[in-house]
Structure 1
């Protein structure tokens, strides 16, 4: 019998022949539902519905209560070990054929295995230590300072934190904009990441979708028309530094110019830059990447707090390469007081979205930023863009 051990001369099955944790029961594909409830194929009744393409319950691993019998417990341990071994094999196979998601899998954090025995929690404000002593704030603030230099804002002028994902960075950036302008209107291109529209729903904000060009960039002509139609209210704008599908980068300078031409002074708009995809690539795109006129790469639009922007967020598990979802959010310190609140039992303040925060992620990012891979990544960016031009 496959997957069995001997127990007093009697074979005990620990892995059934038919067990396959990666199996997926074939099901007909459901109709595609857009976020506004309209069916792409078929008619709509206006109701929003949730559809599942794959029923994970058919392949889930049931959690059961442990047995008091010591012999059975040993068998259970062997069974669990076999499950994990097969799952690792599945991960290796799926990682080998991993397509469609822009993750950098070229990382090795074996040196950090020694820290996995600790419950590291950075709950509260990164800059104000709480009464929970097992934290990694010293690493977190070091990483934040690196990003502050990248985006050209002084240490005493910024506030930020390491988020659990790119979406949390967008939720926080839009929330800061809403707190600065409670009656502001959120503007975002139609190809903006869904998390921005999620933020609009969560915060009950009026949201105006702006048309895009063929490239996926925001259409500033349409943007201007919609700004003028709502000139009586402040503007909160999401600028994409790499859209999800097309990788389009909105022209930040043109967005600012459009706002100014529409009569919006700098104290009547707030710009959040969603750099989840390309936020860490654009700063390293330089003209003449190889010092040769044969390979000329035009400099990317620059994201900088020297421009009238309010916040920037990036993902840490995409281009950087991190085994766990995480991200970085940076905003202006002058804006954060609208969010920050004292938390008595923490003996700290908090202006984050989440409460408890992964204290391991800052260490992974800190180690990445100190490694020689940072220089390699800069060349990787330039090589990728040169190859894109050659392929055109």
Structure 2
């Protein structure tokens, strides 16, 4: 059952016609010592001979490309879809495409991709059920920027509000609280990683004289848990908050792009009283550069907007200059895949996550797979070399694999085989 800690033989839930074991694995302690592996610099080379310069640079790039190919082949730990192909867009790399300022207002700089950016935003607005006239948004440089912007909108509209977010939230949520000097409360989480709504209710009751800014996770970073948005809204009403006194930001970095294509999954929609949603573009969608987007209600954005004469535009974004290529990458992916393509990708990820979870379980390795999730949590391997090879994300005594479209059953078999070999050597 959801939220119940079991060591083996747990229950089953239906996911898109799939039977998936759910066996929460709780890790204690919640933090451990960080091993800092220092990066090495690639020196900027100096040559007097032009021919030698070109030859040396060519070798560096060739060697680096080979390294990227090798590292991509053994990547399992982070939520990046590496199965993408943007060869058709190579012709655009010679242009400095900059969507600086508000995407809805053209600036004096003409080399931009606003038309693609607005197309992407309108696609997500339709996905999350908000009318084009009632929303505002932009393409961000990363998922963190989406959280920073969503929480900033909440803070600007409710200046004395308290930020509430679960202890399993992405670090950028608490970074926002620090940057904006916000009062915040960490909400406890369940064994699955989901927000403990009863603890949230207690905290809200203790501080109900102050407005509430609540971050709801649509897939936590480590365990892939989805906070119960409907229950959060219900609690806010029960405690006595009106919609004018709370703001909800939904961090959908990875699963915000997946759950719309899963039957019976909890749905994120602006038909519910939420304030903003953010998602990453380089995660499930698969883009070659970090990017994302954030959408909020138009009525909220005026609280942090200023006209800038130098740009002949409006300042409502976190960053000034923004990667115009990212908008084209996202538009290209949405157009080439469509709803059908994303549905198939989600099915594949869930099926392979179930396969990995079952395989680990059969080998006697403690493991957890949340409902409607592709994040498989298991006990941290003892071999540091294995962790580095497969680029695993670890926290305390657990690690996880985020099953993305580029992870096949064959790669899972290789991964588990090498994991068992490393355990045998330990």
**TM-score grouping bracket, smaller chain normalisation:** 0.7 to 0.9
Offset at residue 40 of structure 1 (A)? 4.7
For residues 90-127 of structure 1, give each alpha carbon's deviation from its aligned partner in whole angstroms, at most 9, with x where no partner exists. Answer: 00000001120111111111010000010000000000
Q: Which of 4, 16, 41 is 1:60 aligned to?
A: 41
Matched residues, number: 329
Q: Which of 311, 323, 331 is 1:358 aligned to?
A: 323
Match of 1:19 in 2: none
Q: Which of 199, 206, 230 is 1:222 aligned to?
A: 199
Offset at residue 376 of structure 1 (A)? 2.2
Match of 2:110 in 1: 133
Give the alignment's TM-score, normalised by structure 2: 0.75
Distance 1:376 1:138 in 2: 23
Q: Which of 177, 186, 203 is 1:200 aligned to?
A: 177
Aligned pairs for 1:42-61 within 5 A:
53-56=36-39, 59-61=40-42
Quickly say closer, same or farther: Cα 1:94–1:383, change in 2 above 3 A.
closer
Offset at residue 375 of structure 1 (A)? 1.7
- Unpaired runs of at least 5, structure 2: 1-28, 359-368, 370-426
For residues 239-279 of structure 1, give each alpha carbon's deviation from its aligned partner in whole angstroms, at most 9, with x where no partner exists. Answer: 00000110000010000001111111111100000000200
For residues 154-204 of structure 1, give each alpha carbon's deviation from its aligned partner in whole angstroms, at most 9, with x where no partner exists. Answer: 000000000000000000000000001000000000000000000000000
Distance 1:93 1:388 in 2: 23
For residues 300-319 of structure 1, give each alpha carbon's deviation from its aligned partner in whole angstroms, at most 9, with x where no partner exists. Answer: 11100000000000000000
Distance 2:156 2:206 in 1: 23
Match of 1:319 in 2: 284
Give the alignment's TM-score, normalised by structure 1: 0.81
Aligned pairs for 1:146-165 within 5 A:
146-165=123-142
Offset at residue 372 of structure 1 (A)? 3.3
CA RMSD of aligned residues (A): 1.8
Match of 2:81 in 1: 104
Higher relative contact order (CA 8 A, sep 6+): 2
- Tell me if the contact between 1:368 and 1:374 (Cα under 8 Å) persists in the aligned partners: no
Quickly say closer, same or farther: Cα 1:317–1:230, change in 2 above 3 A.
same
Q: Does 1:179 align with 2:180?
A: no
Aligned pairs for 1:1-392 within 5 A:
40=32, 53-56=36-39, 59-64=40-45, 66-67=46-47, 69=48, 72-286=49-263, 299-372=264-337, 374-386=339-351, 391=358
> SS where residue 63 of structure 1 aligns?
coil
